[in-house]
């Protein structure tokens, strides 16, 4: 029998994160968003709750859970705020996961205990100013200096989440380390600790949304790190990052569902309390239908990421299903934020309102970790087209 209901452990986690989001995040996040400040106190609390260690084994300081548990936490956080949710998503699925998946025993021992407890954050250095979706077009270069046994890195990365906080301890950088026999670039990934000479973090971007998350451009000017900082096999960097992105798309789908559901939550509450033409607007069929469609989108999108996560955890090929989940959920988030703003009228256009923030946050979900166009490309490839 197919059963989409959560088991006891997952449901307990969902409820606890929901309570945390409502009681600890909701009262303070609007001020962080307005001032564009990073919510360190919230991050510390999430660390104490074990959220940064959800999918990692206990031997590395993790909670011994699974990737689906992380997705549930992301959904519940995003029902209240996406900046906090993407901070967790990027720290776990993009920051710590590459080290867990591909790191040596020494690398795992050095970095994971702090990353899984939230004491430190790691960033994922893939995107560049001139490449965007074309990850294979990476221009950042790393040359191995045989005399010193060091990688010398030069290049620029753009739009990198969690890369400039006081907690950031490293950035995993994809760089061209040579050329294959067929003339294509040999791409590898290298760990660059924060504070390494020549590694510069630019001032934070002025963003439309995710205003309480940390995002920077990064510069590497003859940055030297030990040869042992190579993450995984040389020349396997692109394959590693693509696998990490496949997983991350499920996480972004969960985050998108949270935002879509948050739009439903806020609209139901507002419609019940807002009076127009002599009765609450919840009594007007036009408003009812808008909210009903919003609930439909959130529910269907949730089933999509549940399915993708279950395939991933079962060890099945999940790439196409992750793309489907991400594409559908980001569309749902964008549509729901639009119509939630409509339900709220002028109040929905105010940054102090949750739906005003949702509206600003939703668009990046159709861009980050693979644009909607890339998702359609992956789906088509999965169909053999």
Residue with tokens 């959904």, as numbered in its chain? 75
DSSP string, 187-213: EEEEEEETT-TTEEEPPPP--SS-TTS
Q: Which of 181, 266, 369, 373 is catalytic?
A: 369
State which H helix or E strand residue 71 sits in.
helix 67-78
Distance (Å, whole) CA 111 – CA 126: 19
Q: Under 8 Å CB-to-CB from 299, ≥6 apart: which residues? A: none
Where on the phi/psi map is residue 202: left (φ > 0), alpha (ψ -120 to 50), or beta?
Answer: beta
Q: Say whether 216 sits in a helix, a strand or coil.
A: strand
Distance (Å, whole) CA 353 – CA 146: 57
* Orientation angle between helical segments 82-89 and 40-49, nearest 10 degrees: 50
207 φ/ψ angles, rounded to the nearest 5 degrees: -110, 155
Give helix then strand counts, H and E, for the chain: 12, 10
184 φ/ψ angles, rounded to the nearest 5 degrees: -80, 160
Q: Minimal CA–CA distance to 142: which of 80, 79, 181, 187?
A: 187
Q: Say whether 74 sits in a helix, a strand or coil.
A: helix
Distance (Å, whole) CA 74 – CA 80: 10
Contact 281, 274 (CB under 8 A): yes
DSSP string, 99-143: HHHH--HHHHHHHHHHHTTTSSEEEEE---TTTTT-GGG---EEE
> Known catalytic residue: 369?
yes
What are the residue numbers of the active site? 369
């Amino acid at each position: 029998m197919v059963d989409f209901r959560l088991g006891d452990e997952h449901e307990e986690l969902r409820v606890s994160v929901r309570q945390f989001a409502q009681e600890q995040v909701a009262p303070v996040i609007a001020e962080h968003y307005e001032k564009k400040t990073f919510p360190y106190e919230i991050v510390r609390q999430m660390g104490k709750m074990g959220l940064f260690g959800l999918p990692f084994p206990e031997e590395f300081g993790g909670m011994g859970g699974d990737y689906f548990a992380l997705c549930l936490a992301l959904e519940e956080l995003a029902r209240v705020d996406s900046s906090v949710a993407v901070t967790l998503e990027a720290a776990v699925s993009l920051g710590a996961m590459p080290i867990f998946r591909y790191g040596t025993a020494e690398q795992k021992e050095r970095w994971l205990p702090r990353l899984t407890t939230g004491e430190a954050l790691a960033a994922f250095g893939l995107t560049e100013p001139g490449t965007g979706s074309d990850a294979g077009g990476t221009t950042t270069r790393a040359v191995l200096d045989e005399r010193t046994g060091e990688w010398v890195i030069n290049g620029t990365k753009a739009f990198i989440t969690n890369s400039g906080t006081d907690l950031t301890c490293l950035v995993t950088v994809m760089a061209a380390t040579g050329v294959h026999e067929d003339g294509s670039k040999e791409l590898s990934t290298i760990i660059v600790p924060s504070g390494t000479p020549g590694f510069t973090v630019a001032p934070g971007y002025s963003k439309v949304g995710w205003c309480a998350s940390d995002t920077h451009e990064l510069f590497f000017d003859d940055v030297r790190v030990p040869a042992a900082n190579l993450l995984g096999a040389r020349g396997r960097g692109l394959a590693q990052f693509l696998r990490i992105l496949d997983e991350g798309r499920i996480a972004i789908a969960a985050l998108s569902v949270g935002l879509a559901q948050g739009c439903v939550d806020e609209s139901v509450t507002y419609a019940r309390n807002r009076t127009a033409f002599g009765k609450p607007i919840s009594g007007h069929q036009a408003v009812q239908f808008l909210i009903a469609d919003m609930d439909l989108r959130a529910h269907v999108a949730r089933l999509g990421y549940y399915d993708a996560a279950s395939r991933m955890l079962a060890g099945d090929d999940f790439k196409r299903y992750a793309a489907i989940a991400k594409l559908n959920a980001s569309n749902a988030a964008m549509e729901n934020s639009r119509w939630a703003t409509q339900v709220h009228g002028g109040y929905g256009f105010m940054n102090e309102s949750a739906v005003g923030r949702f509206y600003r946050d939703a668009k990046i979900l159709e861009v980050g970790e693979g644009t909607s166009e890339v998702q359609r490309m992956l789906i088509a490839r999965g169909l053999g087209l």
